[in-house]
Amino acid sequence: MNKFIYIFFISFLIYSCTSNTILKKPDDLIPEDKMVDLLTDLFLADNAKNTKNLQLERQVNYYPLVFEKYNIDSTQFKESNFYYTSRVDEYDVLLLKVNERLSALNKKFEELKRQEDSLVDVDKIMKNKVIDSINNIKKRTVKSIKEDIRER
């Protein structure tokens, strides 16, 4: 009898913990492709909080700008996000697409950064050559002045 109570209790607990909630699709659901774009920009906006902007400010909330860009409000986003998160498989596909886009953006950024660094290196080399040329001219000028003084 004691085992039966434990088994009943455990099965009741397991059954009550599983969610069979099927959410109704919101009337103003954000389409999947737009949601991928939106989530990509929201991830970028979230990470931009710790970076100084052009006015040298940090901790700027860029979410309103992202919502404005896509002509949505935060309520519409929350409802759509809640709907997609209730469908784990679909949301997983969305997040994979977002991850692919962020990876592609990161790859482009790294390439641009590498090009910029190589230009900086070329610039340093050119500056050093110019400085060396100026120093050589100064040395020759000083030598020629010294020789002129000796000859007199």
Range of the domain at 46: 28-151
Q: 47 with 35: CB under 8 angstroms?
A: no
Average pLDDT, the chain: 75
Please check whether residue 119 lies inside any domain of the structure. yes
Please check whether residue 41 lies inside any domain of the structure. yes
The pLDDT tens digits for 56-100 are 666 667 788 888 999 999 889 899 989 988 888 888 889 999 999
Please check whether residue 19 lies inside any domain of the structure. no
Q: How confident is the model at residue 37 (pLDDT cuts 50, 70, 90)?
A: very high
Q: 44 with 103: CB under 8 angstroms?
A: no
Please check whether residue 15 lies inside any domain of the structure. no
> Is the per-residue pLDDT at 110 higher than 50?
yes
Please check whether residue 16 lies inside any domain of the structure. no
Q: 28 with 79: CB under 8 angstroms?
A: yes
Please check whether residue 6 lies inside any domain of the structure. no
Please check whether residue 99 lies inside any domain of the structure. yes
Half-sphere CA count of 64, side-chain side, radius 13 A: 2
Number of domains in the chain: 1
Q: How far apart are CA 67 and CA 10, in angstroms?
A: 45
Please check whether residue 2 lies inside any domain of the structure. no
